[in-house]
């Protein structure tokens, strides 16, 4: 028999649209397979939605990730998933998290637990059957809302009420919660920027500042992952315009010194940013004509692919840029050697940073939008046959010169020009 006290004292029938949205989430995703598998394991087994997906449904946001909690221990979860032919991998089994994979969906399933010992970044846990104890170890009231497949909610700390009233409240003692995991300082800034309808609590800000040194204990991977969740227009705008938030944010990420870029944007700039990805938005914050971008990328071990994208923008604007730089002939080389993304990044970067709305820049963006990278008409075999050039360094050098001339001349080159380069 399921925990009757939970049902009597902590479940609440919610507004119709919330319950219906939760039922739709169950019905319209393979979540129903998780519920069926885990709930039928025994008479006491149960699984519920938890955290972000419920928070987003209440706030009428798009649900893009689905977390679940269960009173089964992780070993049992694995056994049940295997029995039901559901693929999974052990995301963090020592902390009770298993990720199930069904039809392209990922479901993070975490066993109920209590944090026995914490050091500011890791926790030693004990698995539990108690939903209230699991809720107690979570960070904010708005993240400790659970719901079953039918939309019945378990909300022991009135997270729904806080969410609707625009309060971001820690569960229990904020100082204790922060010391358990210093990443919660950054999470507070994210949730405050996204959900708060009130000024900061001065006492809470004091506790955040006292503990901010603990950020140094966290891995760069966790910090970067949280930064990616923050890097969305509506959050960045509020961070940029809120003095206390921006002060704390820049203590954690001092290299993001162009945060003010996101303050008081016009509609065109907002449109660009809403379509942009993390790498482009990061470039807006770290490129400043110094080695700041290089330092950030090294510090946070940014991938080589993303480093290249940022460096192309950085190098372009480190040159003295005048109006004549933004001509088609100057971008053909960037387009050919680095691709469409590089051209779009540079032009959009200029539109965001510039105080002018340049029609010329937009025309260039539109021109390259549907353009495909052309193939050079002159190849090694042609030169070897026509001009009797042997394979080797000389052949490679001539091809590079021909290619550069072809790109410079708007991807056109005559036989006469090729002949002159070869015979020069």
Q: Where are the domains of the chain?
A: 1-171, 173-253, 280-369, 380-423
Q: Are 340 and 368 in contact (CB under 8 A)?
A: yes
Other C-beta atoms closer than 10 Å to the C-beta of 353 total 13
CATH number of 1-171: 3.30.460.10
Neighbours of 358 (CB within 10 A): 14
pLDDT at 91: 78
| The pLDDT value given to residue 359 | 82
Cα gap 308→255, rounded to integer Å: 18
pTM for this predicted structure: 0.87
pLDDT at 327: 83
Low-confidence ranges of the chain (pLDDT < 70): 1-15, 117-123, 323, 357
Question: What single string gives the DSSP state of each residue in 310-350?
Answer: HHHHHHHHHS---GGGSSHHHHHHHHHHH-HHHHHHHHHHH
């Amino acid at each position: 028999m399921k925990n009757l006290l939970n049902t009597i004292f902590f479940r609440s029938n919610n507004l119709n649209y919330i319950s219906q949205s939760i039922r739709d989430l169950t019905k319209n995703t393979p979540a129903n397979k998780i519920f069926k598998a885990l709930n039928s394991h025994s008479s006491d087994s149960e699984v519920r939605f938890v955290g972000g997906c419920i928070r987003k449904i209440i706030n009428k946001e798009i649900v893009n990730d689905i977390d679940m909690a269960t009173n089964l221990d992780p070993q049992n979860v694995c056994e049940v998933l295997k029995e039901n032919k559901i693929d999974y991998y052990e995301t963090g089994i020592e902390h009770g998290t298993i990720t199930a994979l069904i039809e392209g969906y990922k479901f993070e399933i975490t066993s109920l637990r209590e944090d026995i010992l914490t050091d500011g970044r890791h926790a030693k846990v004990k698995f539990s059957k108690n939903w209230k104890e699991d809720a107690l170890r979570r960070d904010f009231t708005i993240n400790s809302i659970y719901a079953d497949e039918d939309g019945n909610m378990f909300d022991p700390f009135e997270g729904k009420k806080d969410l609707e009233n625009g309060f971001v409240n820690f569960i229990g003692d904020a100082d204790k919660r922060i010391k358990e995991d210093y990443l919660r300082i950054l999470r507070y800034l994210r949730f405050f920027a996204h959900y708060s309808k009130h000024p900061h609590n001065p006492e809470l800000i004091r506790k955040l500042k006292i503990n901010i040194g603990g950020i140094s204990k966290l891995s760069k991977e966790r910090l970067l992952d949280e930064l990616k969740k923050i890097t969305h227009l509506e959050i960045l705008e509020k961070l940029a315009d809120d003095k206390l938030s921006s002060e704390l944010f820049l203590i954690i990420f001092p290299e993001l010194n162009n945060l003010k870029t996101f303050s008081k944007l016009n509609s065109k700039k907002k449109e660009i940013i809403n379509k942009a990805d993390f790498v482009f938005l990061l470039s807006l914050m770290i490129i400043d004509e110094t080695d700041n971008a290089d330092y950030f990328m090294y510090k946070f071990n940014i991938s080589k692919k993303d480093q290249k994208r940022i460096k192309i923008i950085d190098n372009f604007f480190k040159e003295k840029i005048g109006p004549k730089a933004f001509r088609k002939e100057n971008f053909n080389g960037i387009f050919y050697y680095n691709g469409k993304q590089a051209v779009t990044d540079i032009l959009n970067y200029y539109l965001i940073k510039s105080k002018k709305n340049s029609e010329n820049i937009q025309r260039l963006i539109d021109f390259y939008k549907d353009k495909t990278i052309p193939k050079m008409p002159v190849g090694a075999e042609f030169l070897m046959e026509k001009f009797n050039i042997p394979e080797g360094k000389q052949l490679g050098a001539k091809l590079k010169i021909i290619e550069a001339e072809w790109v410079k001349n708007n991807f056109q080159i005559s036989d006469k020009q090729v002949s002159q380069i070869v015979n020069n």
